[in-house]
A and B are shown apart, each in its own frame.
Chain A
Amino acid sequence: MKRRSFRICCRRRSVVETKTLFQKIKHRNESYIFVVLLALCLLIEIRSGQFFSPNNLVDIASALIVPGLFAIGAFLVIVSGGIDVSFPALASLSVYATTKFLLNIDYQGGVWLPILIALAIGALLGAFNGLFIGYFKLPALIVTLGSSSVFKGIMQGALNSKQLTVIPPGMRQWGTSALFIARNPVSGLTSRMPFAFLAFLAVLVLVHVMLRYTMFGRGIYAIGGSEVSAHRAGFNVIRTKFIMYVMVGMIASLAGVIRVCMMQQAHPTNMLGMEMNIIAGVVLGGTAIVGGRGTLLGCMLGTLLIVIVENSLILLGVPTSWKSVFTGALIIIGTGVSAYQVALANSPRRTKTKIWKAA
């Protein structure tokens, strides 16, 4: 204990000094990930000359939509000190149920109804998680592992899931309509920026505002820092968690609808298994896995890094079959470096000698 307080004293000396903007940036995790991201982009650009072409950028942006939304949800849960591995199953179930129902009633209207239905189902399924994690105080990992199976089971058992190759016309139209079309001046290839990107941006802005400017949002950070302290300060810990899981369910379901609309078909299982890469992206972006620390910006940069590795390695001449090796290596190196820095800072020997010399 005494040793620890010594170390803190040493570190604090630097805190008291006035910080320049550069120092502020230097100490933020986001800056590191941004540098890595930039380096990777430049590398790909140099090797292929295709990275910064308009159509590739639009492709990456549209590839970011679904993982980006999932990451926002996963980020909220991790900041609160929990972990959610059920969101792909949750999204699959709500969008599959929605699509199947609308096909059955031969729905011909716009995309708003499917989105609303999916959001409602997502809220319900999120409430299922929130009930067990918030009110019954069960560990989030166990609950979401279980609910993930339950959701998959309902999809396969009750809904008799198989691939739906046709989706309602409203969803199909929304999925193919473009905000704008980017064209590669050299190759002539074009890419559409889907409308859904606006939905993604809207969620991003809303969640940012919520986290920064509402007591509910600060409560999520507070709970992730110390649940007992949050309770004593007067936060309603149970309700905050419950509402948060409902929101996460809705965000994941929105991602599910967007995914189905963009793919023009509802496949019951092809989102399953995304959770690990999403969580890795969130952690890569500097979010503390134990909760309480992290920024939405870092979370997005981390996710973008994973998306780029997954989508653009082919431009580097790396065969797609090697994709997961690279993603895995990135995760190990990225999280390993920060873990190593923490270990280094906590090493007793180093700090001890430092104290002596300072004294």
Chain B
Amino acid sequence: MAQTLLKAVDIYKSFVGVQALKNVTFEIKRGEIHCLAGENGSGKSTLIKIISGVYSPDSGYMEFDGKTYTSITPIGAIKNGIQVIYQDLAVFPNLTVMENLAFNSELADRRRFVNWSRMRQIAKDAIANIDFHVDLDAVVGDLSVAEKQMIAISRALMFNTRLIIMDEPTTALTKKEVRNLFNTILKLKERGIAILFVSHKLNEVFEISENFSILRSGELVATGSTAELDEKKFSYYMTGREFQQRHFVPKNLSEKPIFEAQDVGIEGLFSNVSFSVHRGEIVGITGLLDSGRSELALSIFGILPIETGKYVVHGKPVTIKNPQIAKNNDIGYVPEDRLNEGLFLSQSIGDNIVISEIDRLARVIGIMDREKRSSEIEKWIKELAIATPDPNNACQTLSGGNQQRVLLAKWLACNLDLLVLNGPTVGVDIGSKYDIHGILHELANQGLGLIIISDDLPEIMENCSRVLVMKAGKIVADMHANEINEKAILSYML
């Protein structure tokens, strides 16, 4: 039995009336990869901040390497060998790799003057430590997220580190980069460094961690060996809800297609793509990142207009050369990167909902009909169960799942015929994901045509009555509900 490195016992913490952590007790062993999971707002960040000394607990105590204390300062935590790699990575995008690596130790040594050759040496040692190759004079802002992360990890290792806490480290990484990160984590483990890996992604938890702890609304609901955990239990612990498996079966399929693509293409991105969408149908488009799936979605909404072939809406050919035309033909698009492309985060939830139908809310001379506006907003908040005390709150106050609902509401308010969703549940936690899928099923049954673009295969299989698989800009498979299975899709994709 490995020795305990860190133990937190009976931790309580509340913020102005909100109990963030209740009676949390958990432990990390030396050299162990421990996964801390939980939905948004479950208290994960609060727990990390208590361990790293940013907050002190209201009651309870911690034990680190045999020493017991009730709270610790951030500096004290670092001296103990606890390092946190935050989601934003805390790098300086404007400075060189060298400076990013050397500043922490230079400041810790209370240096007042800069010795460039010493800084270079510190930086060299830091990256050599984990076999990471990078140009020390490169500006960090020009590097990829994965490289920035490696810089943060190298930096964290400079201080005789015993425990590294990584806050959702895989959020912005591609699959390959995640793999590299996991390799690095395993190397660190070999050196006896413990890793606390914060994540709410099921597959990552299973893949990397030996032990897990799951928080729900501030309480530790489960902890133990990952080997004993399965998907169903994980979802249950995370959300407190049981999810039954469901498969979407179209009920109100229209006879004629509402939307057809005939041999469409854009040079260098995709070509000869043909498919059709009926009312009441959910069509899935999947493929690897560079398969052209996202570009196809953008072309349907007119962001990247097609160069060859044509789109046919309700039997009539339409040149969709900008989003305005797409909208006029009752086509809506929910982008993958909802934060940057789909929502006005600093504006109110209400305004975000009505923005697409704003013309219809105007009175004759162009002045907004306030009553109509608020009744619309109320209707959609209720219909999609958006969790907010006040629709006048800024959109950024919502969780990822609720933001996605606002985005849906925004388009549904326009009475669409076809809605294209690119990665509808990327970065959304399990509970909301389940609910959003439910909403999509219902919308299809009400007579909307839907296209889901996703590389999340379980999502595709659960929701789509037809699946198109893309590879290198072409549709390589068109599967109907009865032929859809994960293996077949993968074999076409790769």
The reply to whether A213 and B138 contact each other, CB–CB distance below 8 Å, is no
- Which stretch from A4-12, A64-72, A110-118, A197-205 is at the chain B interface? A4-12
CB 8 Å contact bits of B88-111 with A (1 = contact, 0 = none) = 101111110001000110111001
Within 8 A of A (CB), among B64-112: 86, 88, 90-95, 99, 103-104, 106-108, 111-112
Give bound CA distance, A213 to B267, whole Å: 52
The reply to whether A232 and B113 contact each other, CB–CB distance below 8 Å, is no
The reply to whether B93 and A225 contact each other, CB–CB distance below 8 Å, is yes
Query: Among the listed B103, B111, B113, B267, which residue makes an inter-chain contact with A233, where contact means beta carbons less than 8 Å apart?
Result: B103
The reply to whether B142 and A8 contact each other, CB–CB distance below 8 Å, is yes
Give bound CA distance, A357 to B267, whole Å: 10
Within 8 A of B (CB), among A210-258: 212-218, 221-222, 224-226, 228-230, 232-235
Q: In this assembly, does A28 line the interface, its C-beta being within 8 Å of a C-beta of chain B?
A: no
The reply to whether B268 and A292 contact each other, CB–CB distance below 8 Å, is no
Count A/B pairs, Cβ under 8 Å: 97
Give bound CA distance, A214 to B90, whole Å: 21
Q: In this assembly, does A183 line the interface, its C-beta being within 8 Å of a C-beta of chain B?
A: no
The reply to whether B174 and A2 contact each other, CB–CB distance below 8 Å, is yes
A5 in contact with B145 given A215-B113, A224-B94 (CB within 8 Å): yes
Tell me whether chain B's interface is mostly helix, strand or loop, or mixed: loop
Give bound CA distance, A217 to B172, whole Å: 32
Give bound CA distance, A228 to B135, whole Å: 25
CB of B3 to closest CB in A, whole Å: 30
The reply to whether A235 and B174 contact each other, CB–CB distance below 8 Å, is no
The reply to whether A5 and B93 contact each other, CB–CB distance below 8 Å, is no
The reply to whether A15 and B114 contact each other, CB–CB distance below 8 Å, is no
In this complex, the interface size class of chain A, counting residues with CB under 8 Å from chain B, is 35 or more
Give bound CA distance, A50 to B92, whole Å: 47
- Chain B residues with Cβ below 8 Å from A355 are 290
User: How many chain B residues touch A (Cβ–Cβ < 8 Å)?
Assistant: 35
CB 8 Å contact bits of B160-201 with A (1 = contact, 0 = none) = 000000000000101000000000000000000000000000
The reply to whether A214 and B112 contact each other, CB–CB distance below 8 Å, is yes
Q: In this assembly, does B144 line the interface, its C-beta being within 8 Å of a C-beta of chain A?
A: yes
A215 in contact with B114 given A15-B138, A349-B304 (CB within 8 Å): yes
Of chain B, the residue at the smallest CB distance from A229 is B90
- Chain A residues with Cβ below 8 Å from B387 are none
Q: In this assembly, does B10 line the interface, its C-beta being within 8 Å of a C-beta of chain A?
A: no
Query: Among the listed B95, B174, B268, B289, which residue makes an inter-chain contact with A357, where contact means beta carbons less than 8 Å apart?
Result: B268
The reply to whether A233 and B104 contact each other, CB–CB distance below 8 Å, is yes
CB of A153 to closest CB in B, whole Å: 34
- Chain B residues with Cβ below 8 Å from A9 are 144
Q: 8 new A-B pairs (CB below 8 Å) besides A225-B93, A357-B268?
A: A5-B146, A15-B135, A215-B114, A217-B114, A218-B95, A222-B99, A233-B92, A234-B104
13 contacts between A and B (CB under 8 A): A213-B113, A214-B113, A222-B95, A225-B95, A226-B90, A226-B91, A233-B92, A233-B104, A234-B104, A235-B103, A292-B93, A349-B304, A356-B290
